[in-house]
Amino acid sequence: MARIVVISTGGTIASRWQGSGFAADADGNEVIATAPLPEGISVELVDLFSVNSPRLTTAHQLTLLRTVHEVLADPGVDGIVVTHGTDTLEESAFLLDLHHHDPRSVVFTGSQRPMGTADGDGPGNLYDALLTAANTRGLGVLIAFAGRVHAARGTVKTEAVALDAFADPSKELLGKIGFGKVTILRAPQRPAALPLPAMPQLPPRVDVVVHHTDGDPVLLNAALAAGARGVVLVGTGAGNATPEIVDAVRAAVERGVLVALTTRVMAGPVTEIYTHGGAVDLVAAGAVPTGTLRAGQARIAVLSALLATDNTAEQARVLRVALGEPGAVLVEA
């Protein structure tokens, strides 16, 4: 009998009608009661919180991270399922994956339709997540959704309301679920796990700034003025902006701000091709390219680096480890 712990955090899978719209208000027992249990699996519950995922904070996510590590301290647990809202699921899953060193799987799931609806997808997704948690090992943190298995790293929400809501636009599908079986198609690439971070009273501020036609440094500088210790610049194309933004990035890095560079394009890596404000110049100014990670997960990587150390040089090193750069290693403090 596989012993799986479900950690309930809210989201659409725990949502009901509130008179003008849906919101999370069901507890974990109600969520679990919606789904049949796969044969040979017993379920235990940690009812952590019940919030809409756009309202999640870093404090929520760090609480979830520590709760997962506490649950896995019990060697009798075979795996974990986290029920979570889909809006920020990709961020929480990636945070846990960055710090996950256990062979047992942590599987995120949720739903696109509220609980209790006739065509709701929550029960099926929860069933599949339980099956995945019980039958996979050594794959890190996973996402089970709409009959598919995704690696946390690189997977984003690609559909606002459609049921098949998640994908990694830059990689092949990790696995499939059907007829009571989980089929894994490839092994995800994962760097060494980062140490578990402390729980700061005030987490570091990390902002996201998007470049566009007529873009200038105003929003980037506003983020710095607001106290941002990290910034994710979302460039155009392969990670491009303007000479003025390059100057602002250079000034931010010189002040000890950790700057990461991603792109607003759906698939493909940030690549140093263009100058005159392009990725060539942004990287030379100190921005760290994030490969195929998009804004939400790039922000989590920056956050993890800032939580790891107060040393600015070491923060950049930790960020490169989180990004999985070849040859990037942690230095013992």
- pLDDT class for 3, splitting at 50, 70, 90? very high
Q: What is the pLDDT of residue 325?
A: 83
C-alpha–C-alpha distance, residues 298 and 239, integer Å: 13
Output Rg (C-alpha) for the chain, integer angstroms: 20
pLDDT at 220: 98
183 included as an active-site residue: no
Banded model confidence at residue 327, pLDDT cuts 50, 70, 90: low
In tens, the pLDDT along 265-278 reads 999 999 999 999 99
DSSP string, 29-91: HHHHHTSPPPTTEEEEEEEEEEE-GGG--HHHHHHHHHHHHHHHTSTT--EEEEE--SSSHHH
pLDDT at 243 over 50: yes
Residue 281 token pair: 């110049």
315, 301 Cβ separation under 8 angstroms: no
pLDDT band at 160 (very low <50, low <70, confident <90, very high): very high
Look at strands 15-17 and 22-24 and give their pairing: antiparallel
Of the chain, the percentage scoring pLDDT greater than 90 comes to 96
Q: How many CB atoms lie within 10 A of CB 207?
A: 20
In tens, the pLDDT along 100-144 reads: 999 999 999 999 999 999 999 999 999 999 999 999 999 999 999
Q: What tens digit of pLDDT does each residue of 182-238 get?
A: 999 999 999 999 999 989 999 999 999 999 999 999 999 999 999 999 999 999 999
25-34's contacts with Cβ under 8 Å and 24+ in sequence apart are 25/50, 26/50, 26/115, 28/83, 30/115, 31/6, 31/83, 31/115, 31/122, 31/126, 32/6, 32/8, 32/126, 34/115, 34/116, 34/120, 34/122, 34/123, 34/126
Q: Tell me: the pLDDT tens digits for 30-70?
A: 999 999 999 999 999 999 999 999 999 999 999 999 999 99
DSSP-derived secondary structure letter, 99: T
**pLDDT of 330 strictly over 60:** no
Q: Which of 12, 109, 242, 262 is an active site residue?
A: 12
Give me the DSSP letters along 102-167.
-SB-EEEE--SS-TT-TT-SHHHHHHHHHHHHHH-BSS-EEEEETTEEEESTT-EE--SSSSS-EE
| Neighbour order of strands in the sheet with 41-51 | 41-51, 2-10, 79-83, 106-109, 141-145, 148-151, 175-178, 181-184
Beta carbons within 8 Å of 287's beta carbon, 6+ residues apart: 233, 249, 253, 259, 260, 261
Whether pLDDT at 245 is above 80: yes
